Chain A
């Protein structure tokens, strides 16, 4: 029988660190503001 192993919650600092300098891609929308936002 397959038993699901309880996996300890990954502590924040244990997360795989993002390579230094990499920036998450901007969300596709909404786009850039060309003049000003009212």
Chain B
């Protein structure tokens, strides 16, 4: 009597979690924009045996955006998942993997990320700030003002904008804009940039130094601006991170394959 087929893998089985970990690491390692995502739920797993020690595995994952930008060197385990009231962003991913002689490799992945609905957030938190479009005028004004403010005060390298990561706008009780954006150091000091900013270019890849800024610009009742920029220090960039250093990006909900 042929051996009974193995029981289907459960989504919470240790083996499924190990497969999901490989998939999430691949997704974060091959993402060019935005933030790192953490596993929230394994929606489904399907294992198709292809032969001895050779399985094709289809995985459906539910991920949540973390507060770590994709360029951050922080390990995913140290990245905080964006809270529900901070207007969370969910990622739905379908991943195809192969397990050959016990070794897992990703063959393909397709993800779609989208913010939680405003109604959901406001239902739980009526005064919570909501995500704003990244090309909203107030958002662009806040990012420009924040970067200029940082560059006018720093004694370090002049920073250029890489991409706007996210922005929230709150209208009550104070009208304010909160922005997060990725930056890169240039080959100029901030002082030298005052004379000839056109000459300030992003550092070559073997010296690249990326960073991340957050800023809050109060519009009413009074004008105020707080900026905090942190450079990550030089890291050996993964080949596809180079993609970043040439283009400034404005991001909305996102599909990646």
Contact = CB atoms under 8 A, between A and B. Distances in A.
Interface residues of B, number: 22
A31 interface: yes
Interface stretch (B39-47, B139-147, B203-211, B213-221): B39-47
Contacts, number: 49
Interface of A: 26, 28-38
A38 B16 CA distance: 22
Contact of A29 (B38, B44, B81, B90): B44
Given A35-B81, A36-B84, A38-B90, A30 B40 contact: no
Given A28-B9, A29-B44, A29-B45, A34 B39 contact: yes
B41 A38 contact: no
A26 B11 CA distance: 11
A29 B11 contact: yes
B12 A32 contact: yes
Given A33-B41, A34-B40, A28 B84 contact: no
A32 B16 CA distance: 12
Contacts of B90: 38
B43 A38 contact: no
B255 interface: no
14 contacts: A26-B10, A28-B8, A29-B10, A29-B45, A30-B44, A31-B10, A31-B12, A31-B41, A33-B40, A34-B39, A34-B40, A34-B41, A37-B40, A38-B116
B67 to A, nearest CB: 13
Nearest to B43: A30
